[in-house]
Structure 1
Amino acid sequence: MSKTQKAPQRYRMHVKAGDTVQVISGKDKGKVGEILKTIPSESRVVVKGVNIRTKHVKPQQEGESGQITTYEAPIHSSKVMLYSVKEKIASRICYTFTDDGRKVRMLKKTGEILDK
């Protein structure tokens, strides 16, 4: 790595892949979906059904037709809030310890423990 390049910084995010989240700002505000992928170096997440983009794909071979594909683009992790499917409510998280001493994530509003 040269002197002008910086090493990518790892950010600790409040969400993980597989969590159910609600979008709290932007054009998809209010949508609920599951996190498919996290990008910690950019502090971004890919949420199923949110921030849908279209891509025009050129034909690769002769005689093949081009196509338009859709995909979920990443959004910033600060735009999502963890969502309780049981209570149908979005909440901040806190960290707590279980009886066996494990540190787990818990929803503040409902007391629901996220990590199994």
Structure 2
Amino acid sequence: MRITNYLFTRVGKWSKQYSNLPDRYIKRAMEQVYWRNPEGIQYKPNTVVQRKKFLFSVHRPWTAQFRQDNAPGKLHAKIFVEPIKEWSHFRGDRVQILVGKDKGKQGVIKEIIQERNWVIVEGLNCELKQLGQKEDFAGVWIKSEKPLLVTTEISLVDPSDLAPTPIEWRYTEDGQRVRVSTRTGRIIPLPASMEETIDYKTKGTYKEQPKDTTADAISEITFEPALKTFEMDIMEKMGIREERIPPKSYWY
């Protein structure tokens, strides 16, 4: 399997972290099944024809805009994405823009689109769009940030001197994995906002809601595996003892 195909058939971890949605929901929201085998013993099971190649843009996979961009029968030209072995940019990181009209300016990452190696920097690399223009109405101008490539268009900022720097991952003496500036050797700490989602600022400060499954219920062990059949388990719980002696059986 080509790594580019893998990148386009997954949803990046940091791309969906802020939404705090389960993987099964995102998979169901993206699914486009064209044909599925009927149920029955006479049919081959788990035979499904579905869409495997999607166009990832600034719209998240569970939105109506994503479904509109990837409508059934709507095909797009193949987009090649450079594989990144270790993702090093997170929400809240300060970066410097290396290209475009905002070259040299610094800003904070507010959104990550890992499927395309994109980040969106708050308030920078913007464009104006005119929407709703008619003969008797001038329309509305909307300002929005355009995505930037993490490989060539931005660089992390070293907090010690506020200058752009390449980084690499290293281990401290106590075994903690950190980002280190290769120019100054200083550690670039991970931003606190990388854990932030639409439901909480940090996991430790989250308060359970009435509809949430409690942590005690999740950690409770309700099943103990045993070497017995379903019938044997029922008989044991009902106090039924099997006193019949089974006949001998032979295998050839």
Q: TM-score by structure 1 length?
A: 0.77
- Contact 2:166/2:183 (CA < 8 Å) preserved in 1? yes
**Higher RCO by CA contacts (8 Å cutoff, separation 6 or greater):** 1
Question: In the TM superposition, what are the counterparts of 1:29-108 in structure 2 within 5 Å?
Answer: 29-58=103-132, 66-78=139-151, 79-108=153-182
For 1:112, the equivalent position in structure 2 comes to 186
Aligned residue identity for 2:53: K
**Deviations for 1:46-69, whole angstroms, at most 9, x for unmatched residues?**
01222111122439xxxxx94322
Q: How far did 1:3 drift?
A: 6.7
Q: How far did 1:32 drift?
A: 0.8
Give the structure with the larger helix fraction: 2
Aligned length: 112
Structure 2 regions of 5+ residues with no counterpart?
1-31, 33-48, 57-80, 191-252
Aligned residue identity for 2:110: L
* 2-structure distance, mates of 1:24, 1:55: 24
Aligned-residue Cα RMSD (Å) equals 2.9
**Deviations for 1:48-93, whole angstroms, at most 9, x for unmatched residues?**
222111122439xxxxx94322111111112111112430211100
Q: Secondary structure at the match of 1:50?
A: coil
Match of 1:5 among 33, 52, 59: 52
Query: Runs of 4+ in structure 1 displaced over 6 angstroms?
Result: 7-10
Q: How far did 1:19 drift?
A: 0.7
For 1:15, the equivalent position in structure 2 comes to 89
* 2-structure distance, mates of 1:82, 1:76: 12
Change (3 A) 1:49 1:85: farther
* 1-structure distance, mates of 2:100, 2:156: 16
- Between 1:44-53 and 1:3-12, the stretch displaced more is 3-12
Structure 1 regions of 5+ residues with no counterpart?
60-64
Give the structure with the larger strand fraction: 1
Identity %: 29
For 2:99, the equivalent position in structure 1 comes to 25
